[in-house]
Each structure stands twice: as structure tokens, then as C-alpha cells.
Structure 1
């Protein structure tokens, strides 16, 4: 709505799910480079380049960067029946029961899956991955105790944390977040070097003219500076990712390298 008002054009949102965002990305990559087709780029799609060996597109080659949007941490939550009250408790339990604990994710290759794989890699624990088709079912089964734990978005788990139905152990950002000030960061909890956030940006098909990119980047940049937008992002535990087109290009390249390294080190695979 904010973008529509800003550029005085009707903006249609078309959800094209499937294969971790790959289907939608393929569609946008093949769209006319006229500035009328944009894509919400999630960080998980950048990671997918190392998970899907036969992708028909490359993020840094087939898309033109427009603007950053926001970045969000995940929260490591457990079912209250699991006898742990801290990350260190969880590590001890998992090492005493190798492979017996399981974790839910919103789907193979997504942020919640990769966050858990990085946790396993850095702590040396073994846990079983239970992938779901979306965040909702993953949260539901974690609430029901069918799975022991998950890395969930703030939005998806915060009410259950407040009601005591889920127990938070740590946030995946480098520091604590205002909406859950009593929950430590993973680094605070003793997992050295752990920092993982999901981020979102806007891109267009490669070949869009510089004036169009600069115009869209400027308009989105103004929205990102608005108090209304900042407060909405904060309420979800996130922070604004204020990046112009060139900054986003550089950021995406560095993230591609980072995700490739993480996936190689963790051995994460599509289940």
C-alpha cells in the first residue's frame, strides 16, 4: 500500500510459492525488464543457490537490485516438556541423546532449517530434521509436542512464548531484541560465532534501466525511513535494512558467499 501511494500506481501482489521461492524467482527472471515486475527477495532464496544445483537463474546475474527492506532474527523455542531451560541445557541433552531430539522447520532449505543446521554445526549436536510445508504446521506440531523444538520467526511464536506454551532459549541475532528483552542472543548463550537473520529486499529482472531502478530505490528508501514502517518492523523483532541499489548488490554478493560457506560447512541438504 505504501509503495502504491508513493509511486501513484496500483501495485498487485502475486504469491508464487513452491520450491523455497524458486518458482516465483524463475518467473520474475523471465519477465520484461520494464520496471513493472518486482520481486520480494528473501535471504533463503540466496542460500538456495547452494542447495539447488540446477537452478535456471543466478541472483547476482539475473536480477537488478532495487532496495533493502528489513532483517529479522529467529527464536529457538522448545516445547515446555523438554527438560531444558537454556541453550547449554539443550546442548547437554542433545549430546546425551544423539539423534533422538528433533526439530521442525517451515521447509527444507528455508531460514528455520538452515538456522538449525548452523546450530548443529557450531555445537556439535545431532538432531533429526522434520520439515513441514510452511511455518503454521511447524509451529502447531511444536506446540503439540510432536517435535521438540524449532527456530521460529518472532511473529509466529511470540504469543505462545508469552502464554507459556513455548519456551524461548535464544534469539539468532547478534544482540537481544526489544520485544523479548529477557531472551539472550545465541552468542550470549554460549554459541560462539552464531548469528543468523532472515532478510528481505526488492529486486527486478536484470536489464531494468538505471533511471527506473534509481527511482524505485529512492521511493522505497523514503518508505523505509517512515516512522510507521520502522515501528511495524520493530514490532516483529526486526530492524530496517536500509540499502540502496548499489549497497544491496554488494550485500547480496557477500551473503551469497556467506551462505555457500555455511551450507558447505553444515552439509545441509534438501530433505
Structure 2
């Protein structure tokens, strides 16, 4: 009898604990965040991406009720930061301020050694902004339209040069995409960073560059560079009357984005809280003004939207990379 009573007691306790388990999980999600949060960015302080991360962190601190600290962990084209977040608990207290490059290009670039796979070990949380692109030439260039650039490339195959801040950058793949879609032969000239590339365009060492407007708007306004056309419609926030590259080259579109990613398996309730924080930042007039002043366009996407964008980016970049036989240096 005593044995039977003990068995019944154990069974009742087990059933009670099982009933409470889901509530405990829900309670944990409901209390997010319960401590300070770190937002890891894979590049050095001082750039436009770092500025955007800190703007988001300030707003998120208010929305979430906990301090959000930006941590710069540089190296390996942003992959050291990506690995740190992929290895973190999936509770929302550690997130990655992620970019086009370290979430979509690096996964498709042969020769890249990845410590983690962003496509499977990280997940989208939401997009904060787009970095819109444009085709620029030096002010003294005879070219004034996209068609002029294409005609020049066809007239002298293999001689027209386009600059980029490095192999596998969005700028590099944008130039390759233009070459592929127009069936022309152009020469890629990689530099160590955007400023060195822009300097050589203004001095006539290279012919053109398709790059983010944030880096070249001051040069365009000062008259040292000429904007030929835009890579996506959001660029009309800055240059309302500028034509699109896609007007001449059907299907051409290029841009970069910044947003938040997290470890795989983030609870939906945590993702929703972060989406709220990102949306609030995008709708904040001061944040929007600071982003626009630095050549970036506030552009919210929820987790599902950013996940679709990343899938589309990977497919598109994979095609360009394979067609041009690009490998990591």
C-alpha cells in the first residue's frame, strides 16, 4: 500500500510539473529583457553603419526598458561578430547589427572560411535602413548617362575600369552585375576601402564606381563627382530627378541594408519586441534625419520581410559570383 501511495504521489508531481513547464517558458519570454543587452557590430566605430547601430541602440533602450550597449567586434569581414552572436543564448539579450555583406554575400563567396553559417545559424529580426547606391564618374568625364558608359565599354572591350572597396563587396558585385547584364567586358579595380577608390575616380585613375550614396554625396555636391544614375528608387530621397540604371538596363537593382539578426531559435515574443523597437526607431524624426543626413534611408522590414530579402540577395549574388568566377582573396 505504501508503495502504491508513493507511486501516485510521484505521478501527481510529474503531471503538475509538466503542466507548469509551458507557463514557465511563457513567463521567461514575457520578462524579456531582464538585464542589459549587447548589440554587436562587426566593423570599426565611426562609420555610417556604426552610427546607425548607436541610433537604434538609443531608441531600443527606451522601448525595451533596458540599456542596449553597442559592442564593436571587428575582423574577418564581420564574421567574428556574427560568430559571437551565433554562439550566444537565443534569448534576445545578444543581437547582431547585421549587414548585406556578412549575411548574404559572404555565404556565397568561394574561398571564404566560415566559422559559422549565417544562413543557418543566425536568423533575421528586422531591417532598419537601406544604403542606396548610385553610379558616379569624375566631373570631367565625357559620360553623362548610363548608356554613355555602356557604349564606352562596348567600344573598347576590357579597358573600362570600375572601382570598389574590395573583392566581394556590394560595390564590386554591382559593377559585375552591370557588366553581365549589358554583355560588356569591364575591369574591376579593388581598393582597401571606399575613400581610396573614390580618390582615384576623382583623379581619373579609374573610370566609374557604383557605390553607396553616403560615401559620395559630399563629392557630388562639391562638384568633384557626377552622379549618372541611381541603383534603386530610394535614392530619389536625395536626388529626386536622377534617372535609374534600371531604366536603361532592365532588371538592374543594387543597394545594401542594415538591420538586426539574432541566434537561431529566438522566441517569437522576443522577435516581436525587437521589431517594435526597430519600427519605433524608423519612425522617430530625429533618427530619420540623422540617417538621411548620412546618406541612409530609414526602411523598416519585419523579421519575415528581412528573411525574404536575405534569401533574394543570396540567390542574386550567387549568380553574379559564379558568372564572374569570383573568389575570396
The reply to whether TM is greater than 0.5 is: yes
Q: Does 1:196 align with 2:254?
A: yes
Q: What is the alpha-carbon distance in structure 1 between the residues aligned to residue 251 and residue 234 of structure 2?
A: 12
Q: What is the alpha-carbon distance in structure 2 between the residues aligned to residue 125 and residue 16 of structure 1?
A: 39
Alignment correspondent of 1:242: 300
Query: Which moved further from structure 2: 212-221 or 237-246?
Result: 237-246
Q: What is the alpha-carbon distance in structure 2 between the residues aligned to residue 262 and residue 174 of structure 1?
A: 21
Q: Does 1:157 align with 2:216?
A: yes
- Shift in CA distance, 161/243, structure 1 to aligned 2, threshold 3 Å: same
Alignment correspondent of 2:109: 51
Q: Does 1:18 align with 2:75?
A: yes
After superposition, the C-alpha distances for 1:83-109 in whole angstroms (9 at most, x for unaligned) are 222211111212222222222111211
Q: Does 1:208 align with 2:287?
A: no
Alignment correspondent of 1:68: 127
Instruction: Report how far residue 195 of structure 1 moved.
Output: 0.9
Q: Contact 1:77/1:167 (CA < 8 Å) preserved in 2?
A: yes
For the aligned residues, what is the CA RMSD?
2.3
Q: Does 1:2 align with 2:2?
A: no
Local SS of the residue matching 2:140: coil
After superposition, the C-alpha distances for 1:59-98 in whole angstroms (9 at most, x for unaligned) are 2311122111112221111123332222111112122222
- Shift in CA distance, 174/216, structure 1 to aligned 2, threshold 3 Å: closer
With normalisation by structure 2, the TM-score equals 0.74
Q: Contact 2:59/2:277 (CA < 8 Å) preserved in 1?
A: no
Instruction: Report how far residue 117 of structure 1 moved.
Output: 0.8
Gaps of 5+ in 1: none
1:33 to 67, 90, 95: 90
After superposition, the C-alpha distances for 1:125-181 in whole angstroms (9 at most, x for unaligned) are 222222122222222222222222211211111111122101111110147613112
After superposition, the C-alpha distances for 1:180-212 in whole angstroms (9 at most, x for unaligned) are 123211022x11111111112201112333332
**Higher Cα radius of gyration:** 2
Q: What is the alpha-carbon distance in structure 1 between the residues aligned to residue 285 and residue 110 of structure 2?
A: 39
Local SS of the residue matching 2:132: strand
Alignment correspondent of 1:86: 145
Q: What is the alpha-carbon distance in structure 1 between the residues aligned to residue 212 and residue 302 of structure 2?
A: 25
- Shift in CA distance, 175/266, structure 1 to aligned 2, threshold 3 Å: farther
Q: Contact 1:20/1:109 (CA < 8 Å) preserved in 2?
A: no
Q: Contact 1:178/1:237 (CA < 8 Å) preserved in 2?
A: no
Alignment correspondent of 1:116: 175
Q: What is the alpha-carbon distance in structure 1 between the residues aligned to residue 136 and residue 264 of structure 2?
A: 39
Alignment correspondent of 1:136: 195
2:318 to 240, 252, 260: 260
Q: Contact 2:132/2:234 (CA < 8 Å) preserved in 1?
A: no
Local SS of the residue matching 1:84: coil
Instruction: Report how far residue 266 of structure 1 moved.
Output: 4.0
Q: Contact 1:74/1:171 (CA < 8 Å) preserved in 2?
A: yes
Q: Contact 2:97/2:260 (CA < 8 Å) preserved in 1?
A: yes
Q: Contact 1:175/1:185 (CA < 8 Å) preserved in 2?
A: no
Alignment correspondent of 2:229: 170
Paired residues, number: 270
Q: Contact 1:63/1:204 (CA < 8 Å) preserved in 2?
A: yes
